[in-house]
Amino acid sequence: MCSRIPLRSLMAAVALLTGPGLEAQERRANVAERSARAEAEGLADAFRGITTNGTAEDGLFSIRSTDVSTAPVAEAARRFLTSLSAEQRDRTTYPVDDDEWRKWMNQHFYVRSGVGFDEMSDAQRDAAFGLLGASLSAEGLRLSRDIMRLNHTLGELTDNFDEYGEWLYWITVMGEPSETEPWGWQIDGHHLVINYFVLGDQVVMSPVFLGSEPVHAQEGKFAGTRILQAQQDEGLAMLRALTPGQRESAVVSVDKEGNNNLTEAFKDNVVLDYAGVSGASLTPAQQDRLLALIGLFVGNLREGHAEVKMEEVRVHLDETHFAWIGGDGDEDVYYYRIHNPVILIEFDHQRPVALRGTLGSGPSKQHIHVVVRTPNGNDYGKDLLRQHYQQHPHPHR
């Protein structure tokens, strides 16, 4: 297993020595500095998890059997690791309790670890997508691939394939793929981050970051590709299904002037109280609509484990809160949050970044960010891992 910081420093040094010119070297040095600073600030505090008051609720998660085998996921991970060279495996594998889990960021400038799709052979890419395919639903795999394709579209629109492109995504594996011992994997890149923890036949898939700028490729290599439209439209439909009194509780603000997501990269310990209308105040039909909306996000997980997660969500339906910022018109931009003790979902129309020249400066439906979290200490499966170590002490830790 390798240590990330020395490897990162080495890679940055190599890039500077082999760069095409002074301007590029200065840009890379600035990127490395920004990346290291963001990481240092983000990891300054030990992991506690997202909570409503600074203290995680006890007893929400337990080690148990789900009766949904994870053997296909472990086998796919082994095939992927076997496809790598010894040098690639060395920089791709980490201990299961390594802080590498927390070292992810949506922004394109972040210096990442692991093996990149841009350096993989065709066979290695097939094995990497095999791991995603074994872990995700068909919809989850399609969405992941479309986000990668739209990153190529962004490269076309900006004529900048140094920073944007279909293959600028990296995979790391934490622990040894196993049907009994804890392990997991992560994909990290611009607008696509998935953390996937496995213990026995249990899976925790969070934090997850999904998005794109643009969300619709109107021309270019991947013309017609479009993502996150159901999540966008059904969120608005949920708001419109509320009574005037319920809507008054749900709407935090009608003004949507900036970015509103609160739990993106390096926000593992955010204290975020419930806001909006509660599930307990909804009618059965409204509750069903809310569950269907949550299912659009949870459904990116492979089918059996998605249903396990939805059962967990249903237990806390009365405690689930739906909050809204923005307007309710067809052309309006908005943010919404779904939050209960075991799931946190944020959907946000964001300000343009790379396409500011064509989209303007205000939030746009062509730039969407989605975050899915497991509150109360179980992002990255950390609460399950803690319990595992309590039951099965590991002397080397």
Q: Regarding predicted confidence, which is higher, 228 or 23?
A: 228
How much is the pLDDT for 125?
Answer: 98
292, burial (CB in 10 Å: exposed 0-12, middle 13-18, buried 19+) = middle
Strand runs labelled E in the chain: 93-94, 115-116, 169-174, 183-189, 192-199, 202-212, 251-253, 277-278, 321-326, 334-340, 343-349, 368-373
Rounded Cα distance between 27 and 353, Å, is 18
Angle between helices 229-240 and 284-298 (to 10 degrees): 160
Q: Which has the minimum average pLDDT: 23-27, 273-277, 297-301? A: 23-27
The position carrying tokens 């803690």 is 386
Candidates 333, 248, 338, 358; CA nearest to 290 is 338
* Residue 361 resides in a domain: yes
Q: Is the pLDDT of residue 92 over 60?
A: yes
Cα angle 111-352-101, degrees, rounded to a multiple of 5:
30
Q: What is the CA radius of gyration of the chain?
A: 21
Look up residue 112 and give its amino acid.
R
Q: Average of pLDDT values for 21-25?
A: 67
| Averaged confidence pLDDT in the chain | 93
How much is the pLDDT for 393?
Answer: 81
Assign 3-state DSSP to the chain and report helix, strand, coil percentages, each to 5: 40, 20, 40
Q: Is the pLDDT of residue 17 over 70?
A: no
Q: Is the pLDDT of residue 140 over 70?
A: yes
How much is the pLDDT for 368?
Answer: 98
Count other C-beta atoms under 10 Å from residue 64's C-beta: 11
Locate 294 and state its tokens.
């949550």
Q: Regarding predicted confidence, which is higher, 155 or 29?
A: 155
pLDDT tier for residue 1 given thresholds of 50, 70 and 90: very low
* Residue 3 resides in a domain: yes
- For the chain, the first-to-last Cα distance in angstroms comes to 14
Non-local CB neighbours of 245 within 8 Å, separated by 6+ positions: none
How much is the pLDDT for 35?
Answer: 84
* Domain span holding position 259: 229-381
Q: Is the pLDDT of residue 277 over 50?
A: yes
Look up residue 30 and give its amino acid.
N
Locate 197 and state its tokens.
């923890």
- Do residues 115 and 84 make contact, with C-beta atoms less than 8 angstroms apart? yes
* Residue 150 resides in a domain: no
How much is the pLDDT for 32?
Answer: 80
The model's pLDDT over 194-239, given as tens digits with 9 standing for 90+, comes to 999 999 999 999 999 999 999 999 999 999 999 999 999 999 999 9
3-state class of 16 per DSSP?
Answer: helix
* Residue 124 resides in a domain: no
How much is the pLDDT for 64?
Answer: 97
Q: Is the pLDDT of residue 349 over 70?
A: yes
Q: Average of pLDDT values for 182-190?
A: 98
- Do residues 107 and 80 make contact, with C-beta atoms less than 8 angstroms apart? no
* Residue 200 resides in a domain: no
How much is the pLDDT for 132?
Answer: 98
The position carrying tokens 């059965």 is 284
Rounded Cα distance between 334 and 224, Å, is 24
* Residue 215 resides in a domain: no
The position carrying tokens 């095999």 is 130
Alpha helices in 201-301 (DSSP H): 229-240, 244-250, 284-298
* Residue 105 resides in a domain: no
Q: Is the pLDDT of residue 2 over 70?
A: no
- Indicate the length of the chain as a whole number: 397
- Number of domains forming the structure of the chain: 2
Rounded Cα distance between 36 and 387, Å, is 31
* Residue 167 resides in a domain: no
pLDDT tier for residue 20 given thresholds of 50, 70 and 90: low
Q: Average of pLDDT values for 54-79?
A: 98
The position carrying tokens 């997508």 is 129
Locate 69 and state its tokens.
């085998």
